[in-house]
Amino acid sequence: MSKKRNLYLNTIPVEEARAKYLEAVREKITVRHEVIKVTDSLNRITAKAVYARYSSPLFNASAMDGIAVRAADTDNASETSPVTLTEEQYLVVDTGDPIHPPYDAVIMAEDIVETEEGVRITASANSWQHIRTVGEDIVAGEMILPGGHRIRAIDVGVLLSAGILEIEVVRRPEVAIFPTGTEIIEPEDEPEEGSIIESNSRMFENMVTDAGGIGHRFPPIIDDYEQIKAKVSEAVRNYDMVIINAGSSAGTEDYTVHVLRELGEVLVHGVAIKPGKPVILALVNDKPVIGLPGYPVSAYIGFENFVEPVIQMMSGSSGKSHESVQAHISRRLVSSLKHKEYVRVKVGKVGDKFVAAPLARGAGAAMSLVRADGFCVIEQNSEGVEAGDIVDIELYRSKSEIENTVVVIGSHDLILDVMADIMPTRYSSMFVSSTHVGSMGGLMALKRGEAHMSPIHLLEEETGEYNVPYLKRMFSEPMALIKGVQRIQGIMVKKGNPLGITGLADLAAENVRYVNRQRGAGTRVLFDYRLKQLGIPEKSINGYDREMATHMAVAAAVASDGADAGMGVLSAAKAMDLDFIPVGPEEYDFALPRKYLELPHIKAFIDILGSREFAERVEKLGGYGLEHTGEVVII
Amino acid sequence: MSKKRNLYLNTIPVEEARAKYLEAVREKITVRHEVIKVTDSLNRITAKAVYARYSSPLFNASAMDGIAVRAADTDNASETSPVTLTEEQYLVVDTGDPIHPPYDAVIMAEDIVETEEGVRITASANSWQHIRTVGEDIVAGEMILPGGHRIRAIDVGVLLSAGILEIEVVRRPEVAIFPTGTEIIEPEDEPEEGSIIESNSRMFENMVTDAGGIGHRFPPIIDDYEQIKAKVSEAVRNYDMVIINAGSSAGTEDYTVHVLRELGEVLVHGVAIKPGKPVILALVNDKPVIGLPGYPVSAYIGFENFVEPVIQMMSGSSGKSHESVQAHISRRLVSSLKHKEYVRVKVGKVGDKFVAAPLARGAGAAMSLVRADGFCVIEQNSEGVEAGDIVDIELYRSKSEIENTVVVIGSHDLILDVMADIMPTRYSSMFVSSTHVGSMGGLMALKRGEAHMSPIHLLEEETGEYNVPYLKRMFSEPMALIKGVQRIQGIMVKKGNPLGITGLADLAAENVRYVNRQRGAGTRVLFDYRLKQLGIPEKSINGYDREMATHMAVAAAVASDGADAGMGVLSAAKAMDLDFIPVGPEEYDFALPRKYLELPHIKAFIDILGSREFAERVEKLGGYGLEHTGEVVII
């Protein structure tokens, strides 16, 4: 074996690693300040307390439209004996006009009657009534904002009213970001096999912005010790912080840790966190230098846990807090005592409880971060949680958005994407979230109260009827079915059908690599049913045990030559430019408890299913029938 | 009476006004799109669904550092009968390397032993183990983001990985902002009496940014019908929306509504909201034009209720939701059925409950918005809330910040500002919030569980002892006193002491206008005690009934010639450049229930009181003794 590895990373607990590093960083850095215009200061952090230069109001001012008077002149006025003030005794004032001695009160315009002799009043005025006195709002010399405060729109207004034109704020730290790796390419390059499109650095750049810093992304460096060393040495002279991605692990080409050991001090290499273990926390030239792992989810979690607190320390910001919510976890999650684990979850509000459904746990699954609504954090000292347990979820979508989201769990179809797309544009602040676990999995989730509805396509073998028999059999509570689409199931094969497959019988041939759907998927039920009809034994299918979770995943496996054939719907075959051998039509509908039909977001969902826009979008996907779409069947 | 008024505004309920206006605006506007680089798209809103161009991974890739093998070659390997693979049977791979046929599995580096003959394994490998298959994360053609989605840092990364370099987003609406008013001056101008520093437009500019638009602030227009008309006519041709501030009321110089009636259609003039009633909602040249009132709080609330939803509609954003919290309201709030009222509150967490203390309700009190943590909204159909009621508070500080805030209610002193300033810079994410209701008011709040501590300076006449006797008498639960500062009380008079005041006895002179502190304030207790000692009757003091809430407010009244003398502390006199006639020293301490001494933010508070930084800052204010500062006395 020719390549050299460095298999051992120390793994210390997250909190310990962070505390150790932040303490070391705090000793080295100085938070720097700059003076900027108040009009440019939105979201900046004050460096120190700001005191008012002027009072507000600047002078005694009328708080009303009306007349300024001497209170003493009005003492005897009442309903029964009105007093008439002559022109010398009052002054017409608008709101904000200055009030001078001898006037010491204001009477509202509504409370006076103009007469030929002057102005008649029917009540006495207390001295200083309806007058805003000097400094009533702000007193010169008073503190307006403390240090460490994030400046808001209202603060800008008040600062200017108080005569403050410039303000001392914390300088935003400048962060150099270096992507590394011989195999990575820029997003604009044409990818070849083996290439990885470099995108973490762009994610970091934006995360730096969110954290209060300024990100500077550099072109990728190849995996070369000297080149990495040269770039880092230069960057620690010109920037406040450096991020290197990736090469932070212990692989044969992971030079980062060796470079940082030569240039400075590595305080931590390897943290007990999953995903995200291979983190490097170092100081070079008194500047924080952090190596983050290459998998997008690891990179994200590493950034949140280690880079963000450093930037916050340097930017004086107290950090954004994630909203959190208590939710019932839908599946058992086993986690090791070896690490703290961040499990991405989708969160929904079904009935009166929040439910959290775990997503893919792989570190490479960046899309799972996009799809997720938050993290379920399993502490290092915990072995996991049981299904139904109440857990704390750190949200990164707002709670109100989640409360207005239709939670869909069940069989996958591309029309779910179309629904998710149309919903928020047609109904402001309403959303569709879908998780793909197959038809039976969906119905089980519905039974457990984890979803509003389940898209299903389940054939009853005896009657040939779709969906309705399953609902009657499985549920005791009153149910309904929202009719979805008719769609064509078939065999997806490579463009041009090189193996000449004509039907299910051909799948039993030795040279055909099949890829299957998971147990409980409607497509799997159909496949098994047809195999039985044709008398084809499961084990004659090469790849029967290789299961994938969606039509698109099957289509992608076929398109990429990972397999020769798989069963799925026409729209998936079309999307991946595959040939398609039809097997038969089926009904893809939405099952739900009848009580949810009255919810506003469910009503919106039904409305969109029946809309012209939906019909046109589905038409383009191809292979769908819309005869009864949007109709509600009471079971 | 020479000026002409237009006294009557219609006032319709907030929700009705907003719905009516948004419906009219929706009919006229078209949401416009633009194509931008993905790398510049943070926080922009997608115009429509985005689909992946490439799958991710792009090829079957190793998920581990290790060796690629044929699963079939490993079938018989076990602990007891290891299998050795020769060099032709495996390939060393790093994470991310492509896996080609005939290899169909990866074994982790940790699970192999290198020998002279090759690589020894002690377990069989399942086919496809440790391989990330094509499209495992993202399948080409799959929807990545729906329309109407706010782009986050992670989305930028995933879009680029999926081969998306440019993205169609909603164009940000361009909003013209016109300050109007003959009396207003720019912040950089030197103010004279009668001038009002124009700052609302700068607040709006930043609120437009927050709402997802681009603000363009124009120089002030004087109150002149033709000038306002000319500017608005031009702006509706070049901008998506126009805001006019102020002149939206019915005063003698409020031209806005007349101009808008001539140029277009005024849909609403006057809304049942407090503060903020004189709002104008109009359409000119099919563009939304909104007139907002001039008082800063009215302007802010008008913007939030009417401008923000229009910008959100035009920018496709679903709007930020305020976090909310249920809190016990500390005072009775009476509100009229005539309007929906927004009461600013300070919110704290004391013990296990949130408490909300109402702030000044005046529309001119911009500082109350800066000091506030949120709004208590009293609906139009409600007459108010009783003290102790649980109310919903719309927060605009984060809940976690509030949970880490020391709630101080009681007597005012400038050292509270110093504490509030030092706290977040020394202890990240910890804050001090103070409300000034006088010593006795503070102790009552403490008794009701609304504060962590009360700053007090209460003299017991019989013994001459400060503070301790009051705690013993008033509280049954175990209490403590954190020693604060010794300070000098005295009479503040104008610079040069023009009336030649030498002591309290001189305040009874007819020509001396005195300004008093409110009942329950320690300073008032002291003043009354000294008057009694000297045998001076209250009514001989001209201005005895004119009460102000803080030392600084009294100082400002004297400095601005609103009064000739007032009692207060040396630091306030110094801050306003007044002369000071000492009356005597007093003890200003912090009373708190003993159980709070162990809270982390209370410990931080005590630590700062005893710090060198605090001592230096207080030294500069002048007039304080720090002999026992920070010591804890158990009562």
Q: What is the pLDDT of residues A78-105, one digit of tens each?
A: 999 999 999 999 999 988 889 988 898 9
What pLDDT is stored for residue A7 in this prediction?
Answer: 47
List the one residue out of A67, A65, A61, A60 whose CA is nearest residue A125. A67
Chains A & B: contacts with CB separation below 8 Å: 376
- Whether A5 shows a pLDDT value over 60: the answer reads no
Cα-trace Rg, chain B? 34
Q: Is B386 helix (H, G, I), strand (E, B) or coil?
A: coil
A576: which chain B residues are within 8 Å (Cβ-Cβ)? 139-141
Q: Do B154 and A253 touch (CB under 8 A)?
A: no
On whether the pTM is more than 0.80, the answer is: yes
For the cut 80, the answer to whether the pLDDT of residue B549 exceeds it is yes
Question: Mean pLDDT across chain A, nearest whole number?
Answer: 91
Task: Give dist(CA A117, CA A69) in Å, integer.
Answer: 16
Q: Which among B148, B249, B553 has the least Cβ separation from residue A135?
A: B553
pLDDT at A151: 94
Per-residue pLDDT tens over the stretch A566-621 = 999 998 898 889 999 999 999 999 999 999 999 999 999 999 999 999 999 999 98
Q: Which pLDDT band holds residue A152 (cuts at 50, 70, 90)?
A: very high
Q: Which positions in chain B touch A297 (Cβ < 8 Å)?
A: none
The distance in angstroms from the start CA to the end CA of chain A is 65
Contacts of B418 in chain A (CB under 8 A): 49
A56/B195 CB distance under 8 A: no
**The token pair that represents A155 in the structure block:** 């603060």
Nearest CA-CA distance, residue A472 and chain B, Å: 34
- Best of A243, A370, A413, A430 to mutate (most B CBs within 10 Å, chain B): A370
Q: What is the pLDDT of residue B252?
A: 61
Give residue A320's pLDDT. 65
Looking at this predicted complex, what is its ipTM? 0.88
Strand-strand pairing, A431-436 and A405-410: parallel
Cβ–Cβ of A160/B199 closer than 8 Å? yes
**CB neighbour list of residue A576: distance below 8 Å, 6 or more residues apart:** A492, A552, A555, A556, A558, A559, B139, B140, B141
Do A63 and B200 lie within an 8 Å CB cutoff? no
- pLDDT digits over A503-528, tens only? 999 999 989 999 999 988 889 999 99
- Asked if A541 and A402 count as a contact pair (C-beta separation under 8 A), the reply is no
Q: From the CA of B635, how many Å to the nearest CA of chain A? A: 32
- Chain centroid, CA B211 distance in Å: 15
Q: How confident is the model at residue A317 (pLDDT cuts 50, 70, 90)?
A: confident
Report the C-alpha gap between B369 and B200 in whole angstroms. 13
Lowest mean pLDDT among A28-32, A126-130, A319-323, B521-525: A319-323
**Angle at CA B19, nearest 5°, toward B14 and B24?**
130
Q: Which residue has the higher pLDDT, B605 or A427?
A: B605
- CB distance from B364 to chain A under 8 Å? yes
Question: Which chain A residues are closer than 8 Å to B59 by Cβ?
Answer: 193-194, 560
User: Could you give the C-alpha distances from A477 to A188, A446, A480, A592, B462, in angstroms and in order?
Assistant: 54, 11, 10, 10, 76
Confidence of residue A9 (pLDDT cuts 50, 70, 90): low
pLDDT band at residue B251 under the 50/70/90 scheme: low
Supply the pLDDT for residue B7: 46
Q: Are the CB atoms for B506 and B490 separated by under 8 Å?
A: no
> What's the pLDDT score for residue B321?
65
Percent of chain B with pLDDT over 70: 97
pLDDT, residue A321, reads: 65
pLDDT at B194: 81
pLDDT at A2 over 70: no
Is the model's pLDDT at B253 over the cut of 70? no
Average pLDDT over residues A412-417: 90
Of residues B429, B160, B75, the one with CA closest to residue A217:
B160
Query: How many helical (H) and strand (E) elements, i.e. helices and strands, does chain B have?
Result: 17, 39
For residues B99, B100, B105, B107, the Cα torsion angle rounded to the nearest 10 degrees is -50
What is the pLDDT averaged over residues B613-630? 92
Containing B395, the helix (H) or strand (E) segment is strand B390-395
Bigger pLDDT: B235 or A5? B235
Q: What are phi and psi of A291, to 5 degrees?
A: -100, 130
- The rounded percent of chain B whose pLDDT value lies above 90 is 68
Which residue in B140, B146, B157 is closest to A202 by CB distance? B157
Chain B neighbors of A65, CB-CB under 8 A? 5, 249, 251-252
pLDDT (mean) for A48-76:
89
Nearest chain A residue to B573 by CA distance is: A141
Query: For the segment B167-186, what is each residue's pLDDT rounded down to a tens digit?
Result: 999 999 999 999 998 888 99
pLDDT by residue (tens digit) across A448-501? 999 999 999 999 988 889 999 999 999 999 999 999 999 999 999 999 999 999
CB A294 within 8 A of CB A246: yes
CA distance B49 to chain A (A): 6
- What pLDDT digit, counting tens, does each position of B400-458 carry? 889 999 999 999 898 999 999 999 888 877 899 988 888 999 999 999 999 999 999 99
Task: Please name the residues between 117 and 156 in chain A that touch chain B, using a CB distance below 8 Å.
Answer: 119, 127-128, 132-149, 152-156
Q: Does A316 contact chain B (CB < 8 Å)? A: yes
Predicted pLDDT at A191:
87
Which of B287, B182, B279, B310 is CA-nearest to residue B234?
B287
Lookup: tokens for A297: 């989810």
The nearest alpha carbon in chain B to A109 belongs to B7
From chain A, pick out residues whose CB is under 8 angstroms from the CB of B429.
318-319
Res B129 pLDDT > 80: yes
For residues A102 and A98, give the distance between their C-alpha atoms in angstroms, rounded to a whole number: 12
Residues 474-513 of B with CB under 8 A from A: none
Q: Which residues of A touch B136 (CB under 8 A)?
A: 362, 364-365, 553
Residue B8 pLDDT more than 60?
A: no
Mean pLDDT, chain B, rounded, equals 91
Q: How many alpha carbons lie under 13 Å from residue A62 in its C-beta half-sphere?
A: 24
Compute the Cα dihedral for B472, B475, B476, B479 and give only its sign: negative
Instruction: Report the residue of chain B nearest A118, measured CA to CA.
Output: B1
Mean pLDDT over residues A563-567, rounded?
A: 95
Q: Report B:203-242 residues touching A (Cβ under 8 A).
A: 203-207, 209-210
Is there a contact between B421 and A134 if contact means CB atoms under 8 Å apart? Answer: no
Torsions phi, psi of A541, nearest 5?
Answer: -90, 115
Q: What's the pLDDT band for B4 if we cut at 50, 70, 90?
A: very low
Which whole number is the average pLDDT over A418-438? 87
Q: Do B139 and A56 touch (CB under 8 A)?
A: no
Asked if the Cβ–Cβ distance from A202 to B319 is below 8 Å, we say no
Residue A581's nearest CA partner among A507, A492, A494 is A492
What's the per-residue H, E or C state across A199-217? Answer: CHHHHHHHHHHHHCCEEEE
Q: Give the number of other CB atoms < 10 A from CB of residue B173.
A: 26
Average pLDDT of span A66-84: 91
| Minimal CA separation from B322 to chain A, in Å | 9
State how far residue A595 is from chain B, nearest Cα, in angstroms. Answer: 27
